[in-house]
Structure 1
Amino acid sequence: MSDKMIQIPFKKLIHWVLEEYQKSQTIFGVPEAKFYRKSNDQHIRLFGEALDTPVGPAAGPHTQLAQNIIASYLSGSRFFELKSVQIMDELEIPKPCILAEDECYNTEWSTELSITAAFDEYVKAWFVLHVLQKELFKQNDRRFMFNMSVGYDLKGIQSPKVDQFIEGLKDASKTSIFQECQAVLLEEIELFKTMDRSFVEQISPNICSSITLSTMHGCPPAEIEAIIKYLISEKKLHTFVKMNPTLLGYEYVRNTFDKMGYRYIELKEESFTHDLQFVDGVAMLKRLIVFALEKQKDFGVKMSNTLPVKIGKSELPGEEMYMSGRALYPLTINLAYKLASEFEGDLKISYSGGADAFNIERIFAAGIRPITVATTLLKPGAYQRFKQLADLLEPLLDNQESSKIDLEKLKVLAESAFDDANHLKERRDVINRKTELKLPITSCFIAPCAVGCPIEQDIPEYIRLVGEKRYEEAYDVIVSKNPLPFITGTICTHNCMTKCTRLDYDESVHIRGQKLIAAQKGYEGYMKTVSAQKPKSSAKVAVIGAGPSGLAAAYFLAKVGMEVTVFDKREKAGGTVEYVIPKFRISREAINKDIELIKRMGVKFEFGIDPNFSVADYKAKGFQYVYLAIGAGKTNTLDIKGDTGRVMGAIPFLEAFNTNRDALNLGRSVAVVGGGNSAMDAARAALRVKGVEKVYIIYRRTKDYMPADKEELHYAVEDGVIFKELLSPVSLTEGVLKCQTMELGQPDTSGRRSPVAKAGAFEELPVDTVLAAIGELIDYDLLKNNGIEVGDKGKINVNETTLETSVENVFIGGDALVGPWTVVGAIKHGTQVAKAILEKEQFEFKQEYSSRISFNNEKQLLEIAEKKGVMKPVRDDEQEPSRCLECNKVCNICAEVCPNRANLMIPVNGQGFTSMNQIVHVDGMCNECGNCATFCPYSSEPYKVKLTLFWSEEEFMNSSNSGFLLLGDGTKAEFKLRLDGKIIIAKFDEMGKPSVPMESSIASIVWTVYKQHQYLF
């Protein structure tokens, strides 16, 4: 495939817009529900003209093609900063060129089109927006504005082709593309309902009266000033100049990133020394303000340009990339305040740099306008995010042209930026939401949260049921795969939330909390419907270990009708959850409710058994199957010198704490070594022991690398735990813990930077007791004594699917197999074992929830559509279901995030489809920017995998994508197709049946596009 975009002729563009809207009430994928329709006549004024709203796309991927500008306009944009042009207009930009996982990086620095082609796109967009304004919104007067952007030096800007571009946008009347667009509209005037000839003829050729100068990093101050004077005096344009965040200085930027969690961003100090310096910049701006006033033109600054950073991990091709997005916001808003203060507020500021739904109202209220965005549009929801931005600003519009910055408001905004959770790195502490699944060519909608869950819970389904207050049904959905909803609803490590699409909006849906609500409110009603199954098999199962894994296996076995007995060395069921997890984290009442559900299924329990059991004894007692769910029974020893009698394992400590905390004597100061959840539990518990005044957590890396859940870290901090980073304990002698000071070296295989000892550097802490939270060990001796084979490096030999050991009908799972793990991981193993045993007994293993649970699909789809593109952070548990995007029902992320609209959502009726619509990729509209690959939940690139529509033989032959090309003049349904690497010719009859064999789903897509979407060819 080619990364060269093919421009859509104006006539085709018009037909595309009208026909797509008629067929699906969308235009370039933007649904009518997301069209921005003003509720009043309020506006602002800019350069003497009226603007419906001051928001729009920044110069970048969203203003490169006409269709991009159209999509922006429909959803709420009214100020368009056109993508920059410069004298070098035959660029070869390595691809992919955009990476917007969190903060955004790009390697573009101007349009990928030639200057002439870019000009054509802008003129075509200008005309289409007039059509939409009249046809859809019934507006006669233009309330939108185009702003051209150029770079990078005076000689290039004065060159004939750049000058022709500037003059053409000032007055396009004599250009061939303007005349063509006008002629096409007049020729097709019968297609329109409200637009007539007089409206078309009065469309102004004066497309731009303003310009934004995009200077290269390192451009000399004198050069910048000369360009601006040229644009104001010679070109007679209102002018903004982009100001780089490098004006703040290297130390300021480095410290800001470090403080906000972006330590990994690699800066180049020379980028700061070679760029315009702040003092010089202020002096230049003062001279230019006077100059512009004399020339009766508006002049101001554009905040801000992107920030150059190093490419250190092959994120994108090349050596340098440019950063934008939420990480840039604290820099940009503080630079805006710093500059505005120099002019006592008398400075016009156009803003871009992390603006989004969380801050746009405050930015505007400070007197800054217009406000453009880019990174937020590259995320799921994409162009549809404009509607929320426009809606938020609508009540603030004052029909005025901003004349002065409100310094007090801007100061508050600047100072609060460093603590604003929306811009701290930890708000999105998981970067990669991708699953390991490969993207299918059709029917690809999945809920990544469910795929990311080890037991594949039906998460969107039960969240919707909770939202509809159908709690008993939600509980039914949960326990179809998870017999411990109270436990997992309280302490689950929630892998699901690390895959949630909401992370690319604001923050993950609080899935775990919704599960707990379902458990709390659905338990009583559900339990009235549950009774033990009558035995359906003579085979009996012994489950040794009453922790989460053993309980899960017993539940699923008994649910089908097998006789199961759970044995445990302790006096109660629950394992680590009951005996180790502190009560301040989970109540024993919650644990007991989960166990009561399992008992209700008919599972028997026997407690106080000999921990040194023999599998042979259980088989002798008539148990055909044995599941070893015994946990990791040995405490890992901390290698420390000195008073080792004051060193205790965190797990034994927590057991003692839960049994009788008053019997513990830890002294006044306690150190917990480790950084996982057990370390947090031990530290918080230690603070609750009588006599303890200080608790330290000692960790050899920094807090950023701690494996504990962020919320557990937060709770530990709240409780008063003192974190001591980059320390490794060496000895404990006479109440003094000596620690080796560490520093971070190169990343290891896990991606974490390895701790390296600093020669001769130590730190001493007053410590009476050390608690080692460095993991538990598997009791291999016990396993070997029972004939279970253990391979090299302690790997227990099991069937990976069934978890059956080398001893027939003896299974092992949970911590006993893999070492310390998670509750939900243990449930997964218990489920695997139950399935394996049931298959041996020739029983069907089912995890389906009740067939009586149904959903109103039409209502559901409408509600999902409303949620798209809307930022909505967590408020309370009641609102959480409204934040779930229900990706299993509607995904379309690859279509949403494509700036060029190259991934199309096509409703298809055919055999074997599980999705409402199918994705068709249009090769000619794709520039291989890579953005759809970033956000697709699969480990694949949609632009390479999805069925591709080709517009020419050359495109088809230059690609390896599976796809189709319409042959001839299109009057016959004859196609060249490439499927699974093979090229075939297929004719379709009037019923849509192909002349050669192919998958029915592929045939249905091709036929649907041909019959119902002719405008695509």
Structure 2
Amino acid sequence: MSEKMYPIPFRSLMNWVVTEYADCGEIFGIHKAYRASGKSLPIFGERIETPFGPAAGPNSQLAQNIIAAYVAGARFFEVKTVQKMDGADLAACVPRPCILANDEGYNQEWSTELTVPQAMDEYIKAWCALKVLSKVYDLGDPDGFVFNMSVGYDLEGIKGEKVNTYIDGMMDARRTAIFGECKAVLKELFPAESDFIDAISPRVSGSVTVSTLHGCPPDEIERIASYLISEKHLHTFVKCNPTILGYETARRTLDAMGYDYIVFDEHHFNEDLQWADAVPMFQRLQKLADSCGLEFGLKLSNTFPVDTTRGELPNNEMYMSGRSLFPLTIEMCHRISRQFGGRMRISFAGGAEYFNCDKLFAAGIWPITVATTILKPGGYNRLLQMVEKVEALPYRPFSGTDTQAICDLSTASHTDFHHVKPIKPLPSRKSDKQVPWLDCFMAPCKGGCPIEQDIPEYVELVRKGLYGPALKLITEKNPLPFLTGTICAHRCQTKCSRNFYDESVRIRDTKLVAAERGYEALMASIRHPAKVAGKKAAIIGGGPTGIAAAYFLGRAGVETTIFEREQCLGGVPRHVIPAFRITNEAIQKDIALMEKYGVEVRCGAPAPSVAELKAMGYTHILYAVGAWKPGRLGIPGDVAGAIQWMKGVKAGNISVGGNVAVVGAGNTAMDAARLAKRSGAQHVTIVYRRTRKYMPADEHELALALADGVVFAELCAPVEQKDGVLRCEKMKLGEADASGRRSPVATGEYVDIPCDLVISAVGEQVDSDLLTSNGVEVDGKGRPAFRTNVEGVYAAGDARRGPATVVEGIADAAQFAEAVIGAPHTYDIPQQAYITKADAIAKKGILRMSGCTACEGERCLQCSTACENCADSCPNRANVVIAMADGSHQILHVDKMCNECGNCTQFCPYHSEPCHDKFTLFQTAEDMADSHNAGVLFLGGDRVKVRTFGEPKEYDLSGSNDLPAELEKLIVTVRDRYSYLFA
């Protein structure tokens, strides 16, 4: 495909709307329509039923965008900017992809990609459609919404024939052909409403927002606004750029909030409108508007220009928006409100979303337009929740802004969870799989879990209070629910689609709820299995991996013995990890679960050799020993290995005091630092060569260490500990290494840190002597293969991987059990664990922070039932959900509506681009030839042209053919039930 996108004829557009609404009650994929309450707000001599709508941008470019936004609750439409450069000329200047909204937003598109006449037609089409749909579908008052033009970027272009014709056509559509065409089509579709349709107002818009490019001189801005007010008699907003705050304010604000990686220099700040020029100009424009009986205000804000430095988008510069823009925009809003005594009208964008919209509205700031938030999963459906939240507040005509409330909003934004960047950026949420053409829904959390835990299902069981069944389902794959419910690294949560909404579902905590509340029922249900003849397993090491392996084998009836050198099972979690992280009682419950299956446990002595074990009849031997051997820090001084030091402190054999420095930045380092702090150390410092964001420890563990008073010494490499001081060389960050982390570079400068003891939490290893003395071969890192060179001998967990997470050890244990048993474990998921597609869809677009852990199922998006992120996040509705006869749903990509913005790619859980990789519907043969996508072109009747792999082929659907059966079902369904997509 190409980025060529073209408008849908009005008849086809309305056929789509009425057919979809008749079939499923939806319009352009909006699952729940907003029906106006009767409240409204006056603006521009008109009224709006809600103070919300899409900002000028990708969500207000096409008629279907605007209709979708209206159905979801939008009533103020800042239609996309037009300028003298348009169509192909503009498209050539916009690289693809051009939108990146997976966290804070970035874009490289600024004006409509249509020609200006096409843009006008789209807005008139949307205007006419909304007038009728609002009435016939009882969505609201046909006069309860407003269209606001956006024009740029210089007076010459605005006064030129192209843009001038656009403005005049929007002010009076009677002179346009499309207005008459729309009314004729609407009267055919809704003959009972003919009189109403005849009376549709041709005044599509009586207001305008002035959009100026960065660097536009103040006198040019004033000339444009003055012309639009005095000559065109338009209510006028002037869009302000955040650069008006000044470089130092912007840089300091973003740095303090974790956005130090966003790169920009001073040139835009120096070239853009300055505060000293802006204030008197706005005063003059307000006076001019007052004299003309028109409304004047400021639109806050334009997007913020930043450099492309990490390959985010294909250009040297891009425009930042969303949550990182909010603190800049709200501070600009505060200064303007203060300067004008609250009398200046302010239209707000710049990071507006569900969590701040009520505060903005309560401070007298409206209309509120959004872009980045509705480019995320949930899409336009997010508008409804915003509308419902604000609808509870009083609706009053504009009487001023509350400067103190805005000041408080600005101050609070600097520490607000929804605007501050996390200490560590989340890793990629994509899997390594390619998206299939069919049945592409999947739960990213499950894919991110090394044991592929049935997370949506057990979360749903917990939501229903079925704790016993939930724990039973968990333990089908995970025999350590207390350990993993407490200290699991929870990689699943970094994959959770909720991260695109607010915060991850608390999967780990939900598991612990199931474990605590379902344990007794599970234990009572366990019965000894029948013994398997001819197999006997020995497990060397009684840590998490060994316990898990014994559980799996015991459950299957395989005679199993654990050999543990310590006096009790539990490994590092029991003997090393501090009790404030996990209690021995919790660990013992996991051990008891394993022992319930009759596993023999031998503690307090070294394990027999491989030869001795085989002589004792053991057919399978697993080395599951932990990484107890300290890594070498390689500096002189008083240095202790973290694992052995923590073990000694926990056992009460080591006292702690003075100043402690922990070298390393993984979870073990965090544990060691917190243990030192809680055990009596005066000061505890974590020393790391890179910055905090590159630390391998989990975000949660970093936060806990900070909360305990641990200090972080970033960009420091230890050199020597001596005389109560740790000397470190200062580092700086250089180029990124293969892992994506920026490599530390020595500066030759040094810093001294008070330190009586260095704890080395780097490079813990397994003692490979135990393996090699039994004939097991190891690699250069001292690690064996899973299936070692010695017959019947295996390695798992730390022994195989080096320091591993508990759940990685469980995955290895399951692999070993499958090797012993000869088949994977099978089980059934309880019927109560499943959720209907309707229930899953009802959660889309609903933002909700975590509260009651047992209620996290209310937040789980149930991605294994319905994903549809690509459909939600496409502003143009180019990814369409197709309902199949069997009740399943498939995604069809509609080529003619796609401009390759790339937004859907960010939210697809697969390593794929839906706009390129999903099965595609083509409108014309030329479109198909211009694309590499797999897809279909309908040729009429039963004839189709289909590309699967290679060149397209023609097929006759009335007879036998070699199309895949399920793909043919999709094609036939589209032809028979969704013909409006290609009409």
TM bracket (short chain): over 0.9
- Tell me by how many angstroms 1:178 deviates: 0.5
Do residues 977 (structure 1) and 943 (structure 2) align? no
Partner of 1:450: 446
CA contact (8 A) 1:44 1:397 kept: no
Contact 1:101–1:432 (CA<8 Å) still a contact in 2?
Answer: no
Determine which of 871, 893, 896 is the counterpart of 2:847.
871
In the alignment, structure 1 residue 929 sits paired with structure 2 residue 901: yes
Q: Match for 1:781: what amino acid?
A: D
Aligned letter for 1:659?
A
User: CA–CA distance in 2 between the matches of 1:891 and 1:461?
Assistant: 15
Structure 2, unmatched stretches of 5+, are none
* Counterpart in the other structure of 2:480: 484
Residue number among 790, 793, 796 corresponding to 1:807 in the alignment: 790
Paired position in structure 1 for 2:968: 1003
In 1, the alpha carbon distance for the partners of 2:960 and 2:179 equals 45
* Partner residue in 2 for 1:689: 679
Q: Could you say which residue in structure 1 is the equivalent of 2:751?
A: 763
Aligned to 1:116: 117
Distance 1:733 1:140, change over 3 A: closer
Could you say which residue in structure 2 is the equivalent of 1:530?
526
Instruction: Give 1:896's match in structure 2, choosing from 851, 859, 872.
Output: 872
The amino acid across from 1:504 in the alignment is F
- Once residues 89 and 428 of structure 1 are traced to their aligned partners in structure 2, the CA distance between those partners, rounded to angstroms, is 41
Q: Are 2:811 and 1:828 aligned?
A: yes
Question: Which of the residues 581, 585, 591 maps onto 2:581?
Answer: 585
- Give the Cα separation in 1 of the matches to 2:203 and 2:398: 23
Instruction: Count the aligned residue pairs.
Output: 978
The 1-side partners of 2:757 and 2:923 are apart by 73
Deviation at 1:140, TM superposition (A): 5.1
The residue type equivalent to 2:225 in the other structure is I
- Verify: 1:13 aligned to 2:13, yes or no: yes
How many Å apart are 1:746 and its aligned residue? 2.3
Say if 2:166 is the partner of 1:201.
no
**631, 636, 653: which one aligns with 1:636:** 631
| SS of structure 1 residue aligned to 2:167 | helix
Give the C-alpha shift of residue 2 in structure 1: 2.2
Q: Which amino acid aligns with 1:150?
A: V
Q: What is the CA–CA distance in structure 1 between the aligned matches of 2:833 and 2:751, rounded to whole Å? A: 63
Following superposition, the deviation at residue 50 of structure 1 comes to 1.3
How far apart, in 2, do the equivalents of 1:878 and 1:626 lie? 40
Matched AA of 1:953: A
Residue 668 of structure 1 is matched in structure 2 by: 658
Distance of aligned partners of 1:659 and 1:10 in 2 relative to their CA distance in 1, 3 Å threshold: same
Residue type of the partner of 1:1010?
R
Displacement, 1:78? 0.3
Equivalent of 1:252, from 239, 249, 274? 249
The amino acid across from 2:519 in the alignment is Y
Give CA-to-partner distance per residue, 1:544-575, whole Å, 9 cap, x none.
11111112222112211111111111111111
Q: How does 1:197-596 map to 2 (within 5 A)?
A: 197-398=194-395, 400-426=396-422, 429-596=425-592
CA separation of 1:431 and 1:392: change in aligned 2, threshold 3 A = farther
Match status 1:963 vs 2:935: yes
For residues 605-631 of structure 1, give each alpha carbon's deviation from its aligned partner in whole angstroms, at most 9, with x where no partner exists: 1112226x5212211111111111112
Q: 1:388 to 1:701 in 2, by over 3 A?
A: same
What CA distance in whole angstroms lies between the structure 1 residues aligned with 2:922 and 2:832? 38
Q: Write the letter of the residue equivalent to 1:754.
A: S
Any idea what the Cα deviations from partners look like across 1:189-218, whole Å, max 9, x if unmatched? 34xxxx511110110000001000110011
Partner of 1:36: 34
Given the superposition, is the C-alpha separation of residues 289 and 574 from structure 1 closer, same or farther in structure 2, using an over 3 Å criterion?
Answer: same
TM-score, length of structure 2 as denominator length: 0.98
Tell me the alpha carbon deviations over residues 952-975 of structure 1, each in whole angstroms, 9 at most, x when there is no partner.
11111211211111113xxx2221
Q: What is the deviation of 1:141?
A: 4.1
Query: 2:411, 2:714 → 1: CA distance?
Result: 28
CA displacement, residues 566-601 of structure 1 (integer Å, 9 cap, x when unaligned): 111111111111111111100111101111111111
Alignment match, 2:718: 729
Q: Is the 8 A contact 1:666 1:768 kept in 2?
A: no
Matched-pair contact (CA < 8 Å) for 1:115–1:161? yes
1:829 and 1:115 mapped to 2: Cα distance? 61
| Letter in structure 2 aligned against 1:70 | I
Unpaired segments of 5 or more residues in structure 1? none
**CA–CA distance in structure 2, aligned partners of residues 391 and 44 of structure 1:** 15
Counterpart pick for 1:70 among 67, 72, 75: 67
What are the Cα deviations for residues 752-809 of structure 1, in whole angstroms up to 9, with x where unaligned?
22222222x2222222211111131232333222222223x326452xxxx2111111
8 Å CA contact 1:62–1:900 kept in 2: the answer is yes
1:654 counterpart = 2:626: no
Supply the AA of the counterpart residue of 1:956: M
Q: Distance in 2 between matches of 1:230 and 1:560?
A: 83
Is the partner of 2:354 in helix, strand or coil?
coil
Which piece of structure 1 moves more, 382-391 or 726-735? 726-735
- TM-score, scaled relative to structure 1: 0.94
Q: Does residue 117 of structure 2 align to residue 129 of structure 1?
A: no
SS of equivalent to 1:26? coil
1:276 CA drift (Å): 1.1
Distance 2:325 2:915 in 1: 29
Query: What percent of counterpart residues are identical?
Result: 48
In structure 2, the residue matched to 1:860 is 836
Structure 1 residue 699 and structure 2 residue 688: aligned? yes
Could you tell me which of 830, 841, 848 is aligned with 2:827? 848
Q: Any idea what SS the aligned residue of 1:955 has? A: helix
The match for 1:47 is: 44
Structure 1 equivalent of residue 767 of structure 2: 779
Residue of structure 2 aligned with 1:618, choices 593, 602, 613: 613
In structure 1, the partner of 2:4 is: 4
Deviations 1:257-295 (A, max 9, x none): 111111111113212111111211112112211122122
Q: Which amino acid aligns with 1:616?
A: A
Secondary structure at 1:880's aligned position in 2? helix
From 917, 920, 923, give the equivalent of 2:892.
920
Q: Deviations over 1:1-44 (max 9, x none)?
A: 1211121111111111001111122111112xx10113x32211
SS at match of 2:832: coil
**Secondary structure, counterpart of 1:744 in structure 2:** strand
Provide the rounded CA distance (Å) in 2 between the counterparts of 1:721 and 1:967: 69
1:481 partner letter: K
CA contact (8 A) 2:322 2:351 kept: yes
Q: Supply the distance in 2 between the matched residues of 1:185 and 1:364 (Cα, whole angstroms).
A: 36
Asked if 1:886 corresponds to 2:872, the answer is no
Alpha-carbon distance in 2 for matches of 1:255, 1:293:
38
Shift of 1:982: 4.0
User: How far is the alpha carbon of 1:665 from its aligned partner?
Assistant: 3.3
Q: Secondary structure at the match of 1:777?
A: coil
Report the Cα offset of residue 693 of structure 1: 1.8
Residue 154 (structure 2) pairs with residue 171 (structure 1) = no
SS across alignment from 2:525: coil
Distance 1:752 1:528, change over 3 A: same
Aligned with residue 746 of structure 1, among 735, 739, 744: 735
CA gap of 1:856–1:458, structure 2 versus 1, over 3 A, is closer
2:836 aligned counterpart, secondary structure: helix
Deviation at 1:339, TM superposition (A): 1.3
Contact kept, 8 Å, 2:34 with 2:139, in 1: the verdict is no
CA distance in 2, matches of 1:747, 1:978: 40
- Matched position secondary structure for 2:323: coil
Range moving further from structure 2, 273-282 or 147-156:
273-282
Quick one: distance in 2 between partners of 1:516 and 1:856? 17
Letter in 2 for 1:114: T
